[in-house]
Each structure stands twice: as structure tokens, then as C-alpha cells.
A and B are shown apart, each in its own frame.
Chain A
Amino acid sequence: DGANSLQTERVSDIETSLFALPVDKPVQFLMSSQDVIHSFYIPGFRIKRDVFPNRYTKVWAHPTVATHEWDPVSKRAVLMEGSEPFYLLCAEYCGDQHSQMGNIVAVMPQADYEAWLAEQKNTDAIPLVELGSILYQAKGCASCHGITEGALRTGPTWYGIWGQTHQFTNAPPTVVDENYIRESVLNPGAKILQGYTNAMPQYQGQLTDREIIALAKYIKSLTPEFAEEAQQDSVEEMEARQAEEGEGGTEGEGDM
């Protein structure tokens, strides 16, 4: 269930501009933070639980009143006539954006919820580099790969690797390019970077083609000399697809 496990940060993330839940179904939120302490607060549900960077906390809810419904035309969840939305707020001071870490909680009938969910999984409207950066967090790459210079984690940093020639323990040297990244993601064991073990999980079947390209472009953008080029690639790809779909294909920022 998409909404069941989320990181609070994602709540306000562009990934979902609404925080949607199915009505009449208990949900449990498993939460963890990436920076400081936040607190997951839905006043309308009378629930609140702090979210920590070093552990998981849980809280559950059972929404009984639907507030939103899915509008298939505009591809949005819209407020039902005469209902008041629930709000999701952050209740632990977390810095500059503390008061703006909120969202609307859209409780929808099951069918509407599923329609909404399907639309969320459609990432077509997100440019490649941006999508890559989302996937970097969402698919857990961040737990092993840093994006700053010399970041030491279980896996190597992605900073400045594009175009470099890498040495491997079990394969001849290879230049870091799109193909190499595709291979690293789908079959990490094929080329094991010197100084590392084969610790990376396989992502075969878990990423779409476009997502792999997105990751590659994102990694490209992390090498300063290629950053601009990566952005350009990203824009070009977008334009190309828009041209394919014809006029008025993708909506704006609305409900990505």
C-alpha cells in the first residue's frame, strides 16, 4: 500500500502533493526522518507521533469519513461538496520550514484512492534529473551512496564519477556511462568496484526503463562538468515526449 510506509519528509515532497488515504481501512504509518526530529500530526484524527532520524516510529489511524473524491477528468483529488479537509501538520519544531511542512489529508473511497494511486505511480511528467533525485531517496540508494565529494558510505559516492574510468576486482576497467550504470543497477555483481564488496542489491524488475535512465542522468548531473549537459538531456527528453503525445499532453505541476 503506497501510503502505508512513508517518510515524513516525503509528505511534503513533490512526489505526492496530497496525502491520500482510503476510507474505512486502518492504516499504519511507519516513519523515519532524514534530518532532524519532526512530528506527524493530524489534528482531525487526534494522532501525533514524533519522527526520528535514527529509528522508526509507528502510529495508526482508521479514517471513517471520506473528504475527497477522484476527478478522472482533471486527474485530481477534489474536496467533496460540504466537507472540511483534514490537515497533516508537523508538530515538532524542525527549523525554517516547520510551519510549512503540512499537507492536506485526502480521505477517499477505496476506488478513488486506487485511481489516485495509479496516477501517482505515473512519473511521466517529471524531468529525468529530478526523477532521478527522487528515486535516489525513494529507492534507498541514499542509504549506501553519498552525493557529495568523498562521502563515505557502504557504497561509493556518486559525486564526480561520470566519465571516469573505474577499476574492478573482477572485470576490466570501464568508463562510467549510461550502460555501465544500467549494468550496475540491474546486475551489481558483474563489476565490483575496487575497495568494495558485492553489497549492493539487484534492482532487476524494480525499476522501469525510464527510471534507470533517470538515475543515470541524475548521477551525470552530480559530476560538475556534466551537470549542464544532464539538465539539457533532461529537457530534451521531455520535449521529445511531449511532441509525441501532441498538444496538451502533460498537465502542469498540478497533481504530479
Chain B
Amino acid sequence: MSHHDVPYLAPKDNIWQTIMSWVVTYDHKKIGVMYLCAVLLMFFLGGVFALALRMELWEPHKTVMVDEAGEVVAIAGTPEGTAALEAGATTEERGRFFPNIELITGERNDDGSFKTEPITGNNIYNRSFTLHGTIMVFLFIIPSVPAALGNIFLPIMLGAKDVAFPRLNLASWYVYIFGGIFALWSLLQGGVETGWTFYTPYSSTTNWGDVTAMVLAAFILGFSSIFTGMNFIVTVHKLRVPGMGWFDMPLFVWAIYATAIIQVLATPVLGITLLMIVFERLFQIGIFDPALGGDPVLYQHFFWFYSHPAVYIMILPGFGIVSELLSVHCRKKIFGYKAIAFSSIAIAAISFLVWAHHMFTAASPAANVVFSALTFLVAIPTAIKVFNWVSTMYKASIVWNTPMLYSAFFLFCFTIGGLTGPPLATLSTDIHLHDTYFVVAHFHYVMMGGTVLAFIGGMHHWWPKFTGKMYNEFWASVAGWIVFVGFNVTFFIQFFMGTQGMPRRYATYLEHFELMHQISTFGSWLLGIGFMIHLLVFVQSLVSGRKAGANPWGGLTLEWYAESPPLEHNFEHEPVLTHGPYDYDTVVPPHVDPEEYPLPDQDEVQRVHGTH
């Protein structure tokens, strides 16, 4: 037995060697596992901020997040304001000197005007949603599926020993950590309160916390994302096992491949945009600063040119996971393989043409019409996927375990999230809905209800493979249901808030939204409980879980040919491809007793599905 034939998780001779075998590893699986731990940590951190901000929104006026530090010391235009400006307050602070003395509370006087309350800042709240958004987007969801699950499974699914550039892969991990440290530094400096979109000139002039560090963090994280993307593209092109054509690849690989293309082509634009903000803050170059003749709308174009494609960086891997999960747990050939594969590429392509739908209230009406029309196009390839998934489930022998449960949750939530996309893309409706809770609900339904649910489903699906342990099915499904219910309670009501005109990023709000906000906050507690149980299930599995066989679900893709957990070089011998990834009606899955896995009656299969 050569030393490469041990499970990749096996400890080395001593603790020091074991540690080194992780921190300087070129093994894609170990890098993937390290990514997985990091992104989960970030998800919890982001989640804690989410729970905190939901807590603040329990009541219309400020409750838990009243901070003295944010107190407005002076009113613009008054002598005190001028004095404060003299006493070292720079133009950057101007943003703080809003000229209103009366601050509005939720309550109204009998003449309908608002009651007022002493001025306290909303900074803590503002920082909470900014950090929540920034962490969730840049540190959690973008690296989540590709860099964690993708890293672990993409090479194995291709029958490769590793990704194309293992050193670049490790570099990507360290760049991620480096970026994370910048973000943490910014957090310790007091955080950021610009919103995750860093709109100028606010972001280039505010002096709360350390915006520069946070923007640099996102810039650095972009490199990590580019490295991962480049690596996956080359791996898919060059390292498929002999005999595996493009259409023999699992759909997860297709999805990651499409994602990687976007990562490579969109991230540099974000990079340069963020870099310009840094220059703006450090050298006041004025490109985005209207005070110097610059153009803040240009910033928005740059930002969304990246960030719209980025939402498909977030969702495409989720699509990939769901395609795998549905097929395996329905024990059925995926419906419309090629359509799903190509629709990923189509989504990637269209995603570059729609960015200005985030700017309908800012940009010129003529351009808006074009972007509105282009945005509708995205619904077509996405619809293709949704319908194919539903068709796959049709008349299938579904096993309702946790991964399957999550796939179904995904289908439900993502479709709601996706269907609320077109109303936002419609110029006339978006004028009203833009920057309201309708948008907040939309993007949580697609990011949380889409990607996160798929991610958790994928975690359970592949958990036995990469840890070698089974998890407790009962408690995992209980947690799954709590998450599902909690999620819908939290966010469904927000669609109504949005249509009734509740703007987002509001620390205080009109009192008639109170009940709806309370329902939403209640839902977030359910989410917290659900995720806690999931965490405990995972910990229990690691500590005392049953040992997993090589193929607990009867999957047909190549990772199920490897042992659980896989060997250091994935396979003892390079696998030989004898069937397609989803040929459930003709193939007995590997490591499964053929006695227990009778093939379906071919006549029956023909009758139901016709001939493929």
C-alpha cells in the first residue's frame, strides 16, 4: 500500500505532521474541507448579524441598537455645526450633519405629523446589515459551493487526481483567508455602514469604521474567486478521465464550469471598481466623486456589471447540486440533460447583459427599456431548468431523506424567488418596488431559499462521502422542516411589506409595519433554531456517527466509485467510464448489492418515459 492509498483524512505520524498535512496541502479535498469550515463559520457570523438586525426591527423605533457614539453632534449650517467642522471635522463628515433636528419616531401627533425623539444614530443597525450583507455575499455565498463542495467533488466527479493547478488552489485558499483578515480588521475598527453595495459618494466619503479595509477585503477575495474559477475551467477542459466527453459530465460539473466562466470574466471588473474606491478614499481621485466632477452613476454601472453576474455565481452551483440530488434520490435519469447543461451556459452569457436593472431609478429611461427587456430573457433558461427538475420527479421512486427534502424546498423557494424577479425587471413596477423589502424578500428567496438550501442539501448528500460518517436522518429532516418553515415565515411577509412601501435599510420605520416585521423576526428565530439543530447533527455525526459505506445513496457519478472518505489520490486506479452519470434505468450503482438493487422493468420504463 503506497502512502497515497490512505484516506485523505487519515492523521499522519504525529500531530505536527498532521497539521502540516493540512496547512500546506495541495490536495483539493483538504482545501475544500478547509473552505467548507471557513464558509460555514462565515454563514454563522452573517446569521448572527441577521438575527441581531431582525431583533432591532421588532419595534418601529430604535430599541436594542441605540448607540451614543452615533449621536449627531451638530446640525449643518448652524454655528455648532460650523464649529464642529472647524474642530477637525472634515468634509468627509458632512454626511453626518444632516440638517434635520426633529427625528421621526413611529408615533404620530394628532395632526398626523410624526412625534420626535432625541437624535441618536442608526449606526449600529446600519453596520449590522452592511456586515450581514458583505459577509454573506463575499465571504460566504460566493465561495460556498464552488470553493468548498466544488473543490472536493469536481475533480473526483471527473475521475481526476486533483485540480489542474493545485498550488494555485492552495494560494486561492490563503488569499481568501487574507481577505477575510482584512474584513475582520475592518469589523474590529468599528465595521462598515455603507451597505454591501458601497455606493459612492457615500462610501468614498463616510468615515465610520474602516471602509477602506472592507473594500480591500472584497478586492482580495475577488482574486481568490478568480483563481478558483481558472482552476476549474482548466480542470474540466484537460483532466476529464479518458472516455468522458462533455456530455458525460455530471450536471454539477457543468454548473461549476458555467460559474467559473462568470467568476473569471466578471470578478476583474469588481476588482477594478473596488480598487478605484480605495484610490478614491486614499487619494481622492474623484472619478466617482461628484464634488470633483466625477460620476457616482458610473460607479453603479461598474458595480452591477460584476454584481449581477455574481448572483448567478451564487445560484448556478446551487442548480448543479439540485440536478445531482434529484436524480440520485429519485433514482431516475435526469430529464433533459443537455437542456440543463446548456441553460447554465446561456444564463452565464445573458447575465452579462442585464446589470442596469438595479438602476432603474437612477439611469436614463431609454437604456432602462433595453435592460428591462434583456432581463426577461434570463427567465427562459431558468424556466428550462425548473421544468426539467419537476419532470425528473414525475413518477419517480423518491426517497424522502434530507438531501431530497432540501431539493424540494429549493424548488419551492427558488421558484418563488425567481418568479419575483420579472416584476422587478419590469420598469413600471420596479419604480415602486426598488429598494423596498420586496427586493429584500426576492433576493433572500433566491440566495437563501435557492443557494443556501441547495448547499445544505448538498452537504447532507455528500457528507458521508467526504467525512466517511453517516448523519442522523431523523433530526436532520426535523431541522430541515424548521428551517423551511422559518424561512418562509421570515421572508414571505416581506413581499407584502415591500409592495406597501417599506423601504429597505431602515433602522426605524412607520408603525403600521410593526406586525409584519414582528412576524418576520419570529421567523428568523425559527431559522436560528433550525440551523442550531443542523449544527448539532453534524457534530454528533463527526463524534459518533455510523461509518458510511462507499455509496449510501446508490449514486452513479464517479465520486461514488471512490471510498468514503476518498483516498489521497481519489481512486486506487484511474476509473473506467462504463455508463453515463444518470443511467439509473440500466445500471446497478457501484458498491451496491445488485440483489438489493433490481433494475426497473424496461418495458415499464419505456412506457412511462418513451425512449431516450
Please determine whether chains A and B interact with each other in the same assembly: yes
CA distance A231 to B80 in the complex (A): 11
- 18 sample A-B contacts, Cβ–Cβ < 8 Å, listed by A number: A14-B101, A36-B205, A37-B296, A37-B362, A41-B503, A43-B432, A85-B112, A92-B435, A93-B195, A93-B435, A96-B193, A99-B506, A99-B508, A101-B98, A130-B78, A137-B77, A224-B86, A230-B79
Given A54-B290, A89-B501, A98-B506 contact (CB < 8 Å) = yes
> Is B361 a contact of A97 with CB atoms below 8 Å?
no
Q: Which residues of B approach A to under 8 Å, CB–CB?
A: 70, 72, 77-79, 82-83, 85-86, 94-96, 98-104, 111-114, 121-123, 126, 193-195, 199, 201-202, 205-206, 290-291, 293-297, 361-362, 431-432, 434-436, 500-501, 503-510
Residue of A nearest to B206 (CB): A95
B98 cross-chain contacts in A, Cβ below 8 A: 9, 12, 95-97, 101
**Smallest CB–CB gap between B198 and chain A, Å?**
10
B contact residues around A92 at 8 Å (CB): 199, 361, 435
Say yes or no: A48-B431 contact (C-beta < 8 A), given A17-B113, A98-B122.
Answer: yes
> Once the chains bind, are B362 and A50 in contact (CB under 8 Å)?
yes
**In the complex the two chains form, is A97's CB within 8 Å of B114's CB?**
no
Instruction: Give the residues from 156 to 210 in chain A that come closer than 8 angstroms, CB to CB, to chain B.
Output: 159
Could you say which of B70, B85, B206, B290 contacts A53, with CB atoms under 8 Å apart?
B290
- Contact status of A37 and B100, CB under 8 A, knowing A99-B506, A148-B85: no
Chain B residue nearest in CB terms to A221: B79
A94-B202 CB under 8 A given contacts A46-B431, A137-B77, A149-B86 = yes
**8 further A-B pairs in the complex, CB-CB below 8 A; given A53-B296, A96-B122, A96-B123:** A35-B94, A37-B201, A53-B290, A95-B126, A95-B206, A98-B507, A99-B505, A221-B82
Pairs of residues from A and B, 5 with the lowest C-beta to C-beta distance, nearest first? A43-B501, A54-B290, A79-B112, A133-B77, A99-B506
Q: How far is the CB of B387 from chain A (nearest CB, A)?
A: 34
Task: Specify which chain B residues have a CB less than 8 angstroms from the CB of A18 in the assembled complex.
Answer: 113
- B431-A227 in contact (CB<8A): no
Is there contact, CB below 8 Å, between A96 and B202? no
Residues of A within 8 A of B99 (CB): 9, 12-14
Q: What residues make up the interface of A, taking CB atoms closer than 8 Å to B?
A: 9, 12-14, 17-18, 35-37, 39, 41, 43-44, 46-50, 52-55, 67-68, 76-79, 85, 87, 89-104, 106, 129-130, 133-134, 136-137, 147-149, 159, 221-222, 224, 227, 230-231, 253
Closest to B503 in A: A91
Smallest distance from the beta carbon of A121 to chain B beta carbons, Å?
19
Q: Which of A14, A48, A52, A55 contacts B432 (CB 8 A)?
A: A48
Residues of A within 8 A of B500 (CB): 43
Q: Which of B103, B113, B205, B500 has the most CB of A within 10 A?
A: B113
Known: A13-B99, A50-B362. A93 touches B202 (CB 8 A): yes
Tell me the bound Cα distance from A161 to B263 in angstroms.
57
Chain A residues near B504: list those with CB within 8 A: 93
> Measured between alpha carbons, how far is A37 from B112 in the docked complex, in Å?
28
Residues of chain B within 8 A (CB-CB) of A222 are 79, 82
B94, B432, B436, B509 — most chain A CB neighbours (10 Å): B432
Residue with the greatest number of chain A CB neighbours at <10 A, chosen from B102, B126, B361:
B361
Bound-state CA distance A148–B99 (Å) is 17
CA distance A198 to B102 in the complex (A): 40
> Inside 8 A of A76's CB, which chain B residues have their CB?
111
Q: Which residue of B lies closest to A46 (CB)?
A: B432
Contacts of A13 in B (CB 8 A): 99-100
